[in-house]
Amino acid sequence: MEYFLEQMRFFSVLLLGRNYLWKMWLEKMFPMKFVFEQIYNSELSTDLRSVFCNLALTLYIDHEPLNPIVVPNLCRVFRPRSMGTMDLKHSHTMMLNKETQLDEESFSELVDNILTMIKTEQTNIAANLKSLCKDVPEAKIDSLKIDNLLNNAILANIVKALKKMMTFDVLTILDKTDYYSQIVYHLIHILEFDKNHPVMSFALAKQRGKTTL
């Protein structure tokens, strides 16, 4: 198994920088739908799901026709009459390579499942804090220990993949801009976790109404 994991990591590295010679060969071995499904396949180990996530990032996410969207802080926009009332989603679609269209169905499913995984991680952190910290005597607060729940390879890699898709404005292309607020909301609660001060993390979660009193 360790050899397989190292081999998969090696494939991911080969694809860095959009290496299309390797891409053409590897996408025949690892179809998009298969790779995406392994990321949220709970029957696999966390390490294995993590390497599939990295492979998805370099093989199918960071590639044509997707390109980073540079958003200016302030600008003046002149809209040519010929554009009419073309909506934002359509304008992004126009920028995609005509011969290499985005597989919107597969990407939509991937985004949905990544959001579900992030929500699950937040719920798990809240449950661990509640079981450990609820009604803890004040004298034991400083000595309380909890595992580093953020030391999670799959969580780190799905956030990295999600960040890359947001850089490419994939959520706009998929008509999922309402996901931005959900993503930020759940990630903020995850990043508030502090393994060195679990009682403070729990108190903050209670204050926000994220755990049951």
Other beta carbons within 10 Å of 106: 17
* pTM, rounded to two decimals: 0.74
Helix (H, G, I), strand (E, B) or coil at 91: helix
Give me the helices (H) in 15-150, please. 20-29, 32-39, 46-56, 88-95, 104-133
pLDDT in tens, 145-172: 788 888 888 998 999 999 999 888 899 9
Q: What are the residue boundaries of the structural domains of the chain, listed by start?
A: 2-207
Q: Please give the structure tokens belonging to residue 150.
A: 């953020």
Do 23 and 63 contact (CB within 8 A), yes or no? yes
What percentage of the chain exceeds 70 in pLDDT? 78
List C-alpha distances in Å: 50 to 88, 90, 106, 150.
33, 33, 18, 14
pLDDT in tens, 69-89: 666 666 666 565 554 544 544
What distance in Å separates the CA atoms of residue 187 and residue 118, rounded to the nearest whole number? Answer: 7
Return the percent helix, strand and coil in the chain, to nearest 5: 60, 0, 40
Query: To 5 degrees, how large is the angle CA 68–CA 73–CA 77?
Result: 90
Give 77: exposed, middle or buried? Use CB within 10 Å, 0-12, 13-18, 19+.
exposed
